[in-house]
Structure 1
Amino acid sequence: MNLEQFEDSIKRLFHHDLLERLDDDFGFTNRSNNTISVIGYSTNLSMEIIAKAAENNADLLLTHHDAWDFVYGLREECMKKLIEHNISHFWIHGPLDYIDFGTCTSLMDKLGVDQLLKPSIFTEGGETPGIGEFKVPLGFDLFVDKMSNELSEPIRAWRNNDKEIKRVGVLTGAGHATNHLKTAFDEGCDTYITGEATLYTIQYAQFAGINLLVGSHTYTEIFGVESLARKMQDLNDDIKIVRLNESHFELGPND
């Protein structure tokens, strides 16, 4: 596969209108290697991940996030390393959050949610959480353990009602805004799951009486990137895909 075929595969996998509406939220950071035999994938672009991509002989690095502008200087240093190791890099943010195999639904699948009632969608007013339901309600502590095991990291959990977990709202990554929580609450969710939380997220969840489960931004979103990588391999059986595991740097130093 070459880069042009890779781009064609992206167009086949994602809805045209989604790519068009979010055309500034994905693309190539670097085009160094046009021959793609190995795709390494992760949530973030970082120096750590580029080193792991090189160790695994990746020709293309596929990530959910580009290097953020406000992590000053990171993109420039990543570019140098990508060029040095002859690795192309493609990132896809918004479209992967709102496609049916993306970050939200992939996390729900990993957590064993039986029925997707509403996908996470993007509108002019912003994003909305996906809503899913379990056929058989789960105990709170059991579900916390399950989520921790699937993410391979301890999660933060606030039990704010005495119900078993039945209907969940999910917005991976930065789903900390109280309007996201309110949407889940208004949809009848007893539990809200995300990858970031602030004082206001925690305070509103407690006030509204909705359980709050918070993993890391990185590990609530990796399953969507993994789903994309696997679909890319289904379309191009001449490539190998490799998950590049990131350190749990969002945890405290003693965790």
Structure 2
Amino acid sequence: MNVQQFKSQIEELFGPLLLEFKEDEEYGFCNFSLNNYERIGFATNITPEIVMQAAEMNVDLIVTHHDAWDFVYGMKERCIELLEEYNIAHFYIHLPLDYVSFGTCISLLNLLGISDIVQQPYQLDSKTVIGIGEFASPITLKQLVGDMNRLLGERVYFQNNNNKEIKRIGMITGAGNGTDQLRDAMNSNCDVYITGEKTLYTVQYAKFIKMNIIVGSHTYTEIFGVKSLAQKLQEKFKGIEIMQLYEEHFEVME
């Protein structure tokens, strides 16, 4: 797979979302200097540790959901230095991957066993509108928490704020900690709201409106969308290898 083939496939997969969001803000390409890319490593985040791990595994291209954050001061510059040193390319894609049909939210809903995607997440007035999915048959909150623990490989935070069985899930993976999203879940008759970050306001409002909530880590609620993208690239270009780059479970859930 050469760089032009890769870029053409990204355009095919994401279509209008690449026009809705700006390159180098919500998606971007870095250090594409090789003629061929055969080994792809994927992760939610790009960090110096991820680049070093990719170098040890002879990865040609790292695909992530997030670019290095500007406010994690100095880390983006260090990542770029390491990418250049080890001649590794990097592609990140943020909001388009959140909103595409195989993206972060839909991939996690599908893995939880949802039978009907009621609503894909999308952006409206610069705000993410929740994804919604329904089970064919209701399950208990305890069962859903267990499934989340198993899928994410970490112990999730949860609040049992009512006695309902769970049929309809509202979800924003990653930083869906806003009370607006919780209100959307309530107004959409969701039985539980799942996300990847929480604040004081999240837990206060969830308790106030009696909404069950489950909170995993930002990193591991979003990894499945990145994996889905890597798998789609492998389906298109049969000769490439894909591998997950390991990130620590250091986002504390208390």
* 2:90 partner SS: strand
In structure 1, what is the equivalent of residue 37 of structure 2?
Answer: 36
Q: What residue is the counterpart of 2:20 in the other structure?
A: 21
Aligned pairs for 1:97-108 (under 5 A) are 97-108=98-109
Letter aligned with residue 214 of structure 1: V
Structure 1 unpaired stretches of 5+: none
Task: Render the CA deviation track for 1:18-71: whole Å, top value 9, x for unaligned.
Answer: 110112310113324332010100000011111111121110000000000100
- Residue 101 of structure 1: how far off its partner (Å): 0.3
- Residue 122 of structure 1 and its aligned partner are, at CA, apart by 1.4
Contact 2:31 2:87 survives alignment (8 Å): no
**What are the within-5 Å matches in structure 2 for residues 31-70 of structure 1?**
31-70=32-71
State the Cα RMSD in Å: 1.2
- Deviation digits for residues 92-117 of structure 1, max 9, x if unmatched? 00100000000000010111111110
- Name the TM-score, length of structure 1 as normaliser: 0.96
The 2-side partners of 1:50 and 1:125 are apart by 32
Q: Give the corresponding residue for 1:74.
A: 75
Distance change >3 Å, CA 144–CA 38, structure 1 → 2 = same
Deviations 1:206-234 (A, max 9, x none): 01111010000000000000000000111
With normalisation by structure 2, the TM-score equals 0.96
Instruction: Give the Å deviation of 1:135.
Output: 1.3
Q: Which amino acid aligns with 1:7?
A: K
Aligned ranges 1:151-166 → 2 under 5 Å: 151-166=152-167
1:121 counterpart residue number: 122
Counterpart AA for 1:205: A
* Contact 1:25–1:94 (8 Å) recurs in 2: yes
User: Contact conserved, 1:32 with 1:82, CA < 8 A, in 2?
Assistant: no
Distance (Å, rounded) in 2 between the aligned partners of 1:29 and 1:157: 38
For residue 242 of structure 2, what is the amino acid of its counterpart? I
**Residue pair 2:179, 2:205 contacting (<8 A) in 1 also:** yes
2:115/2:136 contact within 8 Å kept: yes
Q: Distance in 1 between matches of 2:40 and 2:186?
A: 39
Deviations 1:192-212 (A, max 9, x none): 000000000111110111101
Paired with 1:29 and 1:73, the residues of 2 have a C-alpha distance of: 17
Residues 1:251 and 2:246 are matched in the alignment = no
CA distance in 2, matches of 1:61, 1:127: 26
Identical amino acids, percent of aligned pairs: 49
Whole-Å separation in 2 of the counterparts to 1:244 and 1:81: 16
Which residue matches 1:7?
Answer: 7
Instruction: Quote the residue 2:199 is aligned against.
Output: 198
Corresponding residue for residue 147 of structure 2:
146
Aligned partners of 1:114 and 1:130: how far apart in 2? 14
| Matched AA of 1:20 | L
| Alpha-carbon distance between aligned partners in 2 of 1:61 and 1:34, rounded to the nearest angstrom | 15
- The aligned amino acid for 2:20 is R
- Asked if 1:187 corresponds to 2:208, the answer is no
Runs of 4+ aligned structure 1 residues displaced above 4 Å come to: none
| Unaligned residue ranges in structure 2 (runs of 5+) | none
Write the distance in 1 (CA, Å) between the matches of 2:81 and 2:55: 13
1:127-167, CA deviations, whole angstroms, 9 ceiling, x for partnerless residues? 11101111111111111111100100000000010001111
**Structure 1 residue 245, shift from structure 2 partner:** 1.6
CA distance in 2, matches of 1:30, 1:167: 43
Query: Within 2, Cα distance between the matches of 1:99 and 1:22?
Result: 13
Whole-Å Cα distance in 2 between the matches of residues 34 and 181 of structure 1? 47
SS of structure 1 residue aligned to 2:42 = strand
Counterpart of 2:151, as a letter, is E
